[in-house]
Amino acid sequence: MPGSQTPTLWQLRFGANCIAGGGVEFRVWAPKLTRLDVRILSEPERAIPLTREEDGVFSAVVPDVAEGADYQFLLDGDRLRPDPVSRWQPYGVHGTSRVANPGSFAWSDANWKGIALKELVTYELHIGTFAPEGTFDGAIARLPYLRDVGITAVELMPVVEFPGNRNWGYDGASLYTPHSAYGGPAGLKTLVDACHREGLAVVLDVVYNHLGPEGCYLPDYAPCFTSSYQTPWGKAINFDGPESDGVRRYFIDNALYWLTEYHVDALRLDAIHAIFDFSARHILDELGDAFHRQAQRLGRQAWVIAESDLDDVRIINPRSVGGYGVDAQWHDDFHHALYTLLTDDRDGYLMDFGALGDLAKSISEGFVYDGKYSRYRRRRHGSSSAGRPGEQFVTCVQNHDQVANTSKGERLASLVSPDKQKLAAAVLLCSPFLPLLFMGQEYGETAPFLFFTSYEDADLVAAVRAGRKQEFAAYYAETDFPDPQAEVTFRHCKLDWTKLAASPHAEILRLYQDLLALRQRHPVLSNCRKDLTAVAFDEQAKWLVMTRSDPAGEEAMLLCNFAEKMQPVPVSSVGHPGWELALQTAAPAYGVEPASTRPPSFVAAETLEGKISMEGFSAALYLRGYYSEERTQVATET
């Protein structure tokens, strides 16, 4: 087309960038400063003044500096600080920065184009506790296992540089720097490359609602905070106040950086309800738009997923109807509804759940709180998401927050019986959403997942320890409180991979593998068609029946008994005759002794009218319309 131009790929312009032919350009946005020097620590050691440009940007090209050189900035002649856009912090958050050349890594994923949103089956993991080594390289050895389980995407809890060697990662201080103890920039790129080689997408958890309390020096350079709003971590990020344009650019650049230099396939935005922005264009809208445009230029599919407790459909609504255009969000209402039914826990925000109707609504519509009154919040809450497709909801029965903050770090496997775990797995993987598993869930891991840190600031250590004790005083005796700073707290959280071969873990793992294999083979289980899903239930009897269909003709029916004892579950057959039992959780293959009464393996439509007996805390999945017409006729006749 005459006059058309190839879209220009975004590149990171700030920090230290190696120049073709030699030298490094140092470029920093520092509107709070009047003078900025770069101090080169390689021989000969020297300080070079940067030139102040428009909008508070300082820059200089240093010809005789190369990849691997250590440097730091001298602020107004009296403070030495790391680079706020450092690609590498080999000595930790307080140490000097190091020049890293993104072009030096040899990628092998040129043919990787990402995966469709509705194909995401996500496995959330924490690098430090997932594998014994606690490193990016250590995680690589487990990737074939994840692929064989049926996982399609690995979600990494935040991996940017934080104080010390132990942390969840949400206290990141250097937002462009993969943590040195995990393996640094090369280690993360090697892991992403290996994931793509195994056919696994990579979701990176990023934190754009607050900055870490120790070692984050961005406030020395720029007005990154505002006193107009407060978050649980203090002042909010300045996304809409004076000089906020540069702050917005800093975080948007960060999103594009992970997409471009690290080839990640999706970002999970932490707690977007703590992002305050009353600009004409919300930061989520601007960031997501830039992210999608860059992915398109790169020829890849990439996604933005939000964590939100707002139940606000604007987050996932398209821009064409006034939404922010976020691709998907975590579906907390599904977790809360299912978790309360399994555990009877009603503490805190869980007081708003506990009815089977809540679970039914979370499956058929999405948000349970769509403007109705919330006892926990003591006000009406949320908006309707009934019209949004299922692929916009990431569902789970466990994640890092829910394990650590609602049950003293105890996983579901330590709280409920194997039967309940299997029932939860069936509901999760047969619902019309994007399922997420928390590391170890697939085999019933019982190691706790607790909050842990390794801060270097003694005052901060004391404050965090006291704050956690106060927040969870009702859960712990004084002698039982797990000290977040103690290394033993961290070590208790490491997965125990020896459990895989032992009962009941091996049987739980087999169930997850079988459910995910069925999901992969049968579009009716993976089409995310919430609009083709119906749920019936009985609150008193504690049974639930989910039916799903697919435009190609497949149908599925999941029968769930949430009662302790065996009971008949009523079903109604419509459409094609004949259903085949694809899977039942109360089966010998999954560690359950053969029952005297079990769901029939194949039933004709005329015999299905009525009820099917179900073991307590069990589920049975029936499919029809996917096998041959001849087989259906023969089975019906016999």
How buried is residue 636: exposed, middle or buried, by Cβ count under 10 Å (0-12/13-18/19+)? middle
CA separation for the pair 153, 599 (Å, rounded): 34
Contact 485, 455 (CB under 8 A): yes
2 CA to centre of own chain: 44
Residue from 155, 193, 214, 270 carrying the catalytic annotation:
270
Residue from 205, 285, 307, 442 carrying the catalytic annotation:
307
For 294, 451, 574, the CA distances from 284, given in Å and listed in that order, are: 15, 28, 44
Give 381's strand partners. Answer: 372
Q: Are strands 434-438 and 393-395 parallel, antiparallel or unpaired?
A: parallel
Q: Are strands 160-161 and 24-29 parallel, antiparallel or unpaired?
A: unpaired
Q: Are strands 610-614 and 567-571 parallel, antiparallel or unpaired?
A: antiparallel
* Gyration radius of the chain's alpha carbons: 26
Q: What share of the chain is helix, strand, coil (3-state, %, to 5)?
A: 35, 20, 45
CA separation for the pair 404, 472 (Å, rounded): 11
* Element (DSSP H or E) covering residue 559: strand 555-561
With tokens 């997923």, the residue in question is 305
205 is catalytic: no
Question: Residue type at 47?
Answer: A
70 is catalytic: no
For 71, 108, 145, the CA distances from 194, given in Å and listed in that order, are: 31, 9, 13
User: How does 324-360 read in b/e, with b if 16+ C-beta sit within 10 Å?
Assistant: bbbbbbbbbbbbbbbbbbbbebeeeebebbbebebbb
Contact 313, 365 (CB under 8 A): no
Active site residues: 270, 307
